[in-house]
Structure 1
Amino acid sequence: MFKKILVPVDVSLTTDTQKLLHHAKTLAEQWGSEVDVVSVIPTVGMPIVGSYMTEDFEKSAKSETEAELARQMEIADLHGGRHVLVGTVYDRVIALANSLGVDLILIGAHQPDLKDYLLGSNAARLVRHSAKSVLVLRD
């Protein structure tokens, strides 16, 4: 059905990541799909916040995230592309999905906080703005 699946994960949420990777592996096996997994490190944002970060903060965060993503994929026994990006989550995921030519984005959803009702979650933004099919895995 879908030949290429992109799975955005937050590697700091181990249980959620493992659930998503498990479902991605199951779907990929059923459909004969390739899987790419991405974790996006959010930008610091305000300059005053960034001024408290060391110069190598982004490089260090990216290196640690790459290692954790590899570990999580190994635990899930999921083989595929790994990507660690820096920026706004939904923007970077949409851009990567377009550049990879994926058919499906598989993303998890959490119980919304008040801020999600006002700003919207990454899953909601992906559903609204992506030209790709999006499958939201609920808790």
Structure 2
Amino acid sequence: MFSKILVPVDLSIAEETRKLLSRAKTLSDQWQSEVHVVSVIPNVGMPIVGSYMDEGFEKTARSETEAELARQIDAAGLTATGHVLIGTVYDKVIALAKVLDVDLILIAAHQPDLKDYLLGSNAARLVRHSERSVLVLRDKARVE
């Protein structure tokens, strides 16, 4: 059904990542899909904020994120290509989906915080703005 799937994960939410990668494996096995998993490191933004970070912060953060992403993909038994990007989550995911020409973005949604009601979550933004199909895995979704 979908030949290429993009799975954005937030590695700081381990259980959500595990569930999402498990679901990606189930779906990709059924559809014989190519899978790409992406984790986006938020950029530090304003130069004044960046001045408080160590000189090698970005390089270290990318390296640690790449290693953890590889561990999570391996733990899920998933055959996938990992991507680590720096920037705004929804912008980077939408751009990567276009570059990779994916058919489906598989995302997780969590219980919204107050800021999500005011600004909208990354999942909501992806659903609204992506040109690709988006499947949202809810917290209560059963993972086989």
| Fold shared by both chains (TM-score > 0.5) | yes
Alignment deviations for residues 36-68 of structure 1 (CA, whole Å, 9 cap, x no partner): 000000011233221100111000000000000
CA distance in 1, matches of 2:75, 2:12: 15
- Could you tell me which residue of structure 1 aligns to residue 45 of structure 2? 45
| Alignment TM-score, normalising by the size of structure 2 | 0.95
The 3-state SS of whatever aligns with 2:135 is strand
Q: Name the Cα RMSD after superposition.
A: 0.7
Note the C-alpha offset of 1:14: 1.1
Determine if the alignment matches structure 1 residue 98 to structure 2 residue 120.
no
- Could you tell me which residue of structure 1 aligns to residue 3 of structure 2? 3
- Could you tell me which residue of structure 1 aligns to residue 142 of structure 2? none
CA distance in 2, matches of 1:46, 1:119: 20
Note the C-alpha offset of 1:109: 0.4
Report 1:1-139 matches (<5 A). Answer: 1-139=1-139
Identity over aligned pairs, percent: 76
Note the C-alpha offset of 1:80: 1.2
CA distance in 2, matches of 1:124, 1:82: 23
Alignment deviations for residues 2-24 of structure 1 (CA, whole Å, 9 cap, x no partner): 00000000112111101000000
CA distance in 1, matches of 2:117, 2:46: 22
Which residue identity lines up with residue 8 of structure 1 in the other structure?
Answer: P
The 3-state SS of whatever aligns with 2:115 is helix
Note the C-alpha offset of 1:98: 0.3
Segments of structure 2 that go 5 or more residues without pairing to the other structure are: 140-144
CA distance in 1, matches of 2:27, 2:114: 32
CA distance in 2, matches of 1:71, 1:29: 20
